[in-house]
Amino acid sequence: MAELIDPFNRKIEYLRVSVTDKCNYRCGYCMPPQGAHPEGRHTEYLDYDEIARIVAAFADLGVKKVRLTGGEPLVRKGLPELVALLRQHKGLETLALSTNAHYLDRYAQPLAEAGLDRVNVSLDSLRPERFTAITRGGDLHRVLRGIEAAQQAGLNPVKINMVVMKGTNDDEIEAMVDFAQTQGVEVRFIETMPIGSAGISVMDQHYPADKILARVQAHVGDKLIPLVTRSHDGPARNYRIAGSQTRIGVISAVSQHFCETCNRVRLTARGVLALCLGQEESVNLRDPLRGGISDDALKELIVEAIKKKPERHHFNENVHNIEFRQMVSLGG
């Protein structure tokens, strides 16, 4: 079978699909207060059939995992319909969703029935008022209900993503480890990246992964067991807590780059294939699709696009001059 291999011999097996750049939350590191692209016309966005056609082409080219993201995917109407369309492709092994979980209590069951495998939920604080401040209006109780609904619907393991910010929520690292154990979820601590609405200014809040790990270690002691990093783990270092099912990950996209094992590319809601989160290289797939391109020619276009994938991002060296990039367009 055809495969996608980039010039640095990395096999591309993971596609992140942003289904919208809009969101009902306004996390300071991600979204400007007024929201993203309010002027965006409906027709600029790929419809579900177009997304399904592009995903099918990727799956034929060896992509095994697709994650729906955004913006907030659940603000787009009828997401379970898209999941059902994608699930028809037998080559896809994993179909996952990243969400802020605000609407998850309503959608967890229909999504699971449509064929979704797993969810990642953003959760930066377990304190209701702080959560509302970080998300500029979010409702912690709804998010916790959403997490439980996902577990009941069988979308396990639910993975929690916490962006650790110095002086904002770094005092909750231990509480989040405890939450993982009592709630039966996985937690991944993420370094703040100089990407998104606040751009470089978020780096004032940067809290390095090594320090996060040291805090987790001090909290659980010798019960923290490192797990073997697999090629598809990307920039995550994973651990398990002995005597429990709990897994903890630490994602150090900035302080240590793991670009040599990068296996992913991103499709924006407007149909642009972005080849690296920290670089500009991209290829428009929407216009050729709307111009009537055949399935074979679409696959050829994707194979050619992958040849432009950069070797690595430059967050840590160029952190002071990195171009502003919209996380909501690229889907994290």
Please report whether residue 169 would count as binding ligand SF4 according to CB under 6 A.
Answer: no
> What counts of helices (H) and strands (E) characterise the chain?
10, 12
Chain residue whose CB lies nearest ligand SAM: 332
Q: Which residue is listed with tokens 């993975």? A: 159
Helical residues (DSSP H) of 184-310, grouped into ranges: 209-220, 286-290, 295-306
Name which of ligand SF4, ligand SAM, none residue 212 binds, using a CB cut-off of 5 to 8 Å depending on partner kind.
none
Q: Is 149 in the site for ligand SAM (CB under 6 A)?
A: no
Distances (CA, A) of 88 to 19, 82, 248, 261, 299: 18, 10, 32, 29, 18
Q: What distance lies between CA 277 and its chain's CA centroid?
A: 11
Residues 6+ apart with CB under 8 A from 96: 65, 66, 67, 68, 116, 117, 118, 119, 120
Part in contact with ligand SAM (CB under 6 A); list of ranges 54-62, 138-146, 188-196, 258-266: 188-196
Q: Using the rule CB under 6 A, which residue among 17, 119, 193, 236 binds ligand SAM? A: 193
Which residue(s) pair with 283 in the sheet? 273
205 binding partner (options ligand SAM, ligand SF4, none; Cβ < 5 to 8 Å by kind): none
Minimum CB–partner distance for residue 98 and ligand SF4 (Å): 8
Phi first, then psi, for residue 161 (nearest 5°) are: -105, 120
Stretch that binds ligand SF4, among 42-50, 66-74, 141-149, 201-209 (CB under 6 A): 66-74
Which range touches ligand SF4 (CB under 6 A), out of 67-75, 234-242, 281-289, 298-306?
A: 67-75
Task: List the one residue out of 117, 121, 17 whose CA is nearest residue 330.
Answer: 17
Please pick, from the candidates 180, 202, 216, 274, the single residue that binds ligand SAM as defined by CB under 6 A.
202
- The residue ranges that bind ligand SF4 (CB under 6 A) are 23, 25-27, 30-31, 70-72, 100, 122, 328
- The residue ranges that bind ligand SAM (CB under 6 A) are 23, 29-30, 69-70, 72, 98-100, 122, 161, 163, 190, 192-193, 195-196, 202, 327-328, 331-332
